[in-house]
Amino acid sequence: MLHEFSYLAPRERKDLLQLLKKHSGQARLLAGGTDLLCDIRLGTDKPAYLIDVKHIPEMQGITWSERDGLAIGATVTCIEIMRHPVIAKKFPLLAHAAGHIGSAQLRNRATIGGNLCTASPCADLGCSSLALGARVELASVRGTRVIPMKEFFTGVKATQLKDDEVVQRVLYPAEAAGAAWGMEKLKRIKGHDLAVVSVAIARTATWLRVGIGSCAPTPVVTADLPPQATAAAVVAAAFKVVNPIDDVRASRDFRLFMVEEFIRKLLPALA
């Protein structure tokens, strides 16, 4: 049985931000609900207010310009990312990552904002976006700020978001458009499952980066490497940023082994 809560569905950004300020600490933002509603059903989260963010125009849609790059509204779903022609052409790594989240039903609901704000170490849009150098746009009644995604995640299910802040958009630099890419996600089963280890690589003419999931308290990314870096150098850079644990799904040693395996497999075959 669900606890009682008030459901609020503002239509304008200013109303959303005011509500968030007013109910700070007592409210949760509701996007697709694929993470939040699980916690509410389990009784591990009992917010007094659910504030639906799906009707806010500034948090919707996908835009692209050569000058400003790609901007994805926080309420854009995985299926919208998979099907967007500009993303398919210029940021295929993102389309691939979105297409490997959960099942078709889930991808119809799950949003990029929810995936990042849950801040699970395995977030598929986390490690792929980190490889592409994404930034996160946060809004509150105090104003808007933009931070690099690698600073957004601060721990397991923890982010820089303040109680009165919302993720408004996720931003990708124009210089990452057309990056060669590859992604591997190890799961326990062939069907839909969370990653035991995931590795996403992006490479342009000036840099190469590896985003890694399920191998540290947050999704992590290597430092920028030269595009022609050897596999050994890329593995060494990856090992500097991961710190996997032993858990029921895999041991630390196996996760380290798979990070290296995936890098060596992906590097010569980047699309």
Ligand X SMILES: Cc1cc2nc3c(=O)[nH]c(=O)nc-3n(C[C@H](O)[C@H](O)[C@H](O)COP(=O)(O)OP(=O)(O)OC[C@H]3O[C@@H](n4cnc5c(N)ncnc54)[C@H](O)[C@@H]3O)c2cc1C
The contact set with ligand X (CB under 6 A) reads 28-36, 38, 53, 74, 101-102, 106, 109-111, 113-115, 117-118, 122-124, 161, 166-167, 192, 194
Please say which residue, 57 or 178, places its beta carbon nearer to ligand X. Answer: 57
Using CB atoms within 10 Å of the CB of residue 115, give its burial: 0 to 12 exposed, 13 to 18 middle, 19+ buried.
buried
Question: What minimum distance in Å lies between the beta carbon of 200 and ligand X?
Answer: 12
Residue 112 token pair: 């990029």
H-run or E-run covering 257: helix 252-266
Please say which residue, 92 or 99, places its beta carbon nearer to ligand X. Answer: 99
* DSSP single-letter state for residue 179: -
Question: What minimum distance in Å lies between the beta carbon of 11 and ligand X?
Answer: 16
Specify which residues 65 forms β-bridges with.
Answer: 69
Q: With CA atoms as reference, report the closest residue to 225 among 183, 267, 166.
A: 267
Question: What minimum distance in Å lies between the beta carbon of 74 and ligand X?
Answer: 4
Rounded to 10 degrees, the C-alpha dihedral 35/37/38/44 comes to 110
Question: What minimum distance in Å lies between the beta carbon of 236 and ligand X?
Answer: 27
Please say which residue, 204 or 214, places its beta carbon nearer to ligand X. Answer: 214
Please say which residue, 102 or 227, places its beta carbon nearer to ligand X. Answer: 102
Please say which residue, 112 or 234, places its beta carbon nearer to ligand X. Answer: 112
Answer whether 202's CB lies under 8 Å from 234's CB: no
Answer whether 104's CB lies under 8 Å from 83's CB: no
Question: What minimum distance in Å lies between the beta carbon of 228 and ligand X?
Answer: 31
Residue 256 token pair: 């380290």
Question: What minimum distance in Å lies between the beta carbon of 51 and ligand X?
Answer: 8
CA 213 to the chain's CA centroid = 10
Please say which residue, 166 or 225, places its beta carbon nearer to ligand X. Answer: 166
Question: What minimum distance in Å lies between the beta carbon of 68 and ligand X?
Answer: 20
What is the β-pairing status of strands 27-30 and 49-52? parallel
Using CB atoms within 10 Å of the CB of residue 7, give its burial: 0 to 12 exposed, 13 to 18 middle, 19+ buried.
exposed
Q: What CA–CA distance (Å, rounded) separates 148 from 136?
A: 6
Please say which residue, 32 or 133, places its beta carbon nearer to ligand X. Answer: 32
